[in-house]
Chain A
Amino acid sequence: MRSRFQQGLDDLRSRLLRMGGLAEQAVDRACQAFIDRDLARCHLVLEGETQINAVEREIDEQAFDLLAMQQPMAVDLRFILAVTKINSDLERVGDQAVNIAERVMDMVELPQVDLPVDIPRMAAAVSAMVRRALESFIEGKAELAQAVLEMDNVVDRMRDEAFIALVKEMNENPASTRQALDTLLVARNLERVADHATNIAEDVIFWVRGADVRHGADMLSAEESTGTH
């Protein structure tokens, strides 16, 4: 019975990795679409969302079945709870990618203007956070997840800087207000993706160490915990 259970956990893990791959791809495509003003990539992001939603449901159903049928305990229970939460965050990452793609589709209709923000740099930082959060899940390593948490501040700062620069731009060059507003929204979407990556990292820490580090909960509790992984 346990080997069937283990098989179920392995399947769940594989599905979540697939979900992670799809969400990561959606963000990368949306960012590239922004950089290249590429409508074709925008459409790929929109189409990909259907698949992300389907995998989200599959993962939730399988997690629900495992909880109901196998009554997991300890590390297995934490793993399944973490998977359902990461699943939900990845679906939201997909939604943010769609939001970015929609902004790009709007911008492509407008004259291209030079704006004083470095969205590609921000996109690279956010993609790295998503990738590392997923790596921490694959490796089951809380240290990798911890590094993701520390990156969130950097992205928050980039978003704040973008806001200040773009509001200033809108005041000084009203003709480019719509482009600046679209770009500001993209910066906000990217920052939200970073927040989801942070949530994923926190869930990995919960799974591995059994410690809740959300909302700045005392990191000491994580270190005191004697996780066995």
Chain B
Amino acid sequence: MGVGVKVDRLNAWYGKTQALYDITMEAQANRATALIGPSGCGKSTFVRCLNRMHETVPGSRASGKVQIGNLDVYNGTAAVHIRRRIGMVFQKPNPFPTMSIYDNVAAGLKLNGFHNSKRLDEIVERSLKLAALWEEVKDTAKKKSGASLSGGQQQRLCIARALAVEPEVLLMDEPCSALDPISTGKIEELIYQLKEKFTIVIVTHNMQQASRVAEFTGFFLLGKLIEFDKTERIFTNPSDKRTEDYITGRFG
């Protein structure tokens, strides 16, 4: 089951440049929360703070409170442990090119010292099924390279890889921006189904996508969370003029 993500007065910097200002919001368990906003508004920085990837950039830092279920992300928990509970899928599909489809999915588990092959088989199959890729690769998963798949399949492979370590939260940073409409449709359908088991936070530039997949939407601008509400409210009758200007294309 997914767990909620609670963020309280989160601030983030790249060197002396502040990228996030006092972000407070909650992504509810087993729901999809979409983050929208113009390039450079801080939405990607925000999701990277949730699994402490932000701090991997030299000179960057963050302050504030992030809770994944009962886990305090910025207070004494090892980053590696946090990233096991929070899977991440990126804009561009990035399978390990030299590994088979099977090994791509099993990589995270193997890295963590998990080598029970029967159990690995089960987890790989389950993860590929969850990512709606199993039927397409079940006969070739051990032979074919992950890089031999189409872009849409590669992205679903990356989702399967993220799911294999059984996270509770799945962060998706523009997961469909490099995909055609058919692959995008499959990923969106997948997001819909994955909500049963995981909490999803998705960054997207595609507002139709946000409105299709997410129950809640947050609008970021210049590092601040301007508005956070139910998705239908944001896209039909937002409260803040800046949100309305952005989603109706009258921004700037």
A interface residue numbers (CB < 8 A to B)? 1-2, 5, 71-78, 210, 225-228
Contact = CB atoms under 8 A, between A and B. Distances in A.
A78 B235 contact: no
A73 B207 contact: yes
A59 B238 CA distance: 27
A22 B21 CA distance: 54
Given A71-B208, A73-B207, A75-B244, A225 B237 contact: yes
Contacts of B238: 74
A224 to B, nearest CB: 11
B250 A2 contact: yes
Nearest to B234: A74
Interface string B8-36: 00000000000000000000000000000
Given A210-B237, A228-B241, A73 B250 contact: no
B116 interface: no
Q: Interface residue tally of chain B, by bracket? A: 10 to 19
Interface of B: 207-208, 211, 235-239, 241, 243-244, 247-250
A71 B212 CA distance: 13
A74 B248 contact: yes
Given A77-B236, A210-B237, A226-B239, A72 B208 contact: no
B248 A72 contact: yes
Nearest to B238: A74
B248 A78 contact: no
B236 A78 contact: yes
A73 B237 contact: no
A73 B247 contact: yes
Minimum-distance CB pairs A-B, first 6: A210-B237, A2-B249, A73-B247, A228-B241, A226-B239, A74-B244
B235 A74 contact: yes
Given A2-B249, A2-B250, A210 B244 contact: no
A210 B236 contact: yes
A61 to B, nearest CB: 22
Contact of B236 (A1, A2, A74, A226): A74
- Most chain A Cβ neighbours within 10 Å, of B207, B236, B243: B236
